A = this chain, B = another copy of it.
Amino acid sequence: MFMHNKRLQYTVRVSETNPRLATMMLEQFGGADGELAAAMRYFTQGLGEDDAGRKDMLLDIATEELSHLEVIGSIIAMLNKGVKAQLAEGQMEEVELYRTFGTSGVSAKEALLFGGGPALIDSAGVPWTAAYIDSRSEPTADLRSNIAAESRAKIVYERLINITDDPGIKEALGFLMTREIAHQKSFEKALYAIEDNFPSGKLPGVAKYANIYVNTSQGEGDTNGPWNAGGQWDRIDDLTQTMPIDGGDGTASVGLSSAEEVAAAKLAARTASNPASNPRTGVDLGAGPGAGRTTDADLGGAEDIASAPAFAEANPPASVDTLTT
């Protein structure tokens, strides 16, 4: 059961209002790596967890993240306090109000739709979605996801610190950033407290495919490193060996019932394309006489852009000649 105390986990001192900075702070309120995502990630894992230690840890951190959601939300509320009141009371000239948030679509939505209240959207105005949460009920995978999530949240706080010059906000963000570091450490400890944690789950891999590195991207820039070279890897550079890798013919097939075969044959016949045809098409009908399609000489850097006649000519018999000469 949750309880709440009205004091924040960290005191928030904002120097002056700034609705545009508020929209940037939204990234950690209703954004992909924001505090709601963190809280819900750990809370849902905690609910489904049976291991006592992990359950306790997940609920501890989930609850703290809710308190962080409150801190960042309070920062946003402070930054928006002016525009909220002035918009609600119609206290400024229209044109001034419009300018206050007018050059940013997100500030506009924050003001017009949400009235300056902290909304669960990101810095581009996209509503928070549970698609951000990647809990899978397998602790060795979930803990890795949590480690990664804390690492990402740390970075986003760092970037927000880098664009803020309000000392009170900077300090609060520094606190929040640091807590992500501490949480990452906890999740690392919990992962390695599961003795056999790799690979995740129960099924082992197929031995013959487990150490192969396929060099699918080739050309200048091919580089060796511990991720693709050394004793742990069998690297495949000749890609024909992987077409397919199993030694079969690389096709897909399925057994059909006789009724299915009949239907499939009818479908094939009905929708067959005639590769020997040279049909007249909608494009042929629609390519104009070219009168209005002169080369746009201003298209800097692409001086050889085709005039429309090239297209008209490119379709019928005549045009082949035109093109190839």
- From residue 241 to 294 of chain A, which have CB atoms closer than 8 A to chain B? 242-257, 259-260, 262-264, 266-268, 270-275, 277-293
Nearest chain B CB to A185's CB is how many angstroms away? 5
List, in ascending order, chain B residues with CB within 8 A of A53's CB.
Answer: 223-225, 227, 273, 275
Q: State whether A77 touches B48 (Cβ < 8 A).
A: yes
For A160, the closest partner residue in chain B by CB is B112
For A20, the closest partner residue in chain B by CB is B102
Q: State whether A266 touches B91 (Cβ < 8 A).
A: yes
Q: State whether A223 touches B159 (Cβ < 8 A).
A: no
Nearest chain B CB to A273's CB is how many angstroms away? 4
List, in ascending order, chain B residues with CB within 8 A of A52's CB.
Answer: 221, 223
List, in ascending order, chain B residues with CB within 8 A of A209's CB.
Answer: 175, 178-179, 182
A selection of 27 A-B contacts at a CB cut-off of 8 Å is: A1-B239, A5-B217, A6-B218, A9-B250, A14-B254, A15-B255, A24-B108, A43-B69, A53-B223, A56-B221, A57-B223, A67-B216, A79-B254, A81-B254, A90-B202, A93-B165, A144-B151, A147-B148, A184-B283, A189-B281, A192-B280, A205-B306, A207-B306, A210-B311, A211-B314, A226-B279, A285-B285
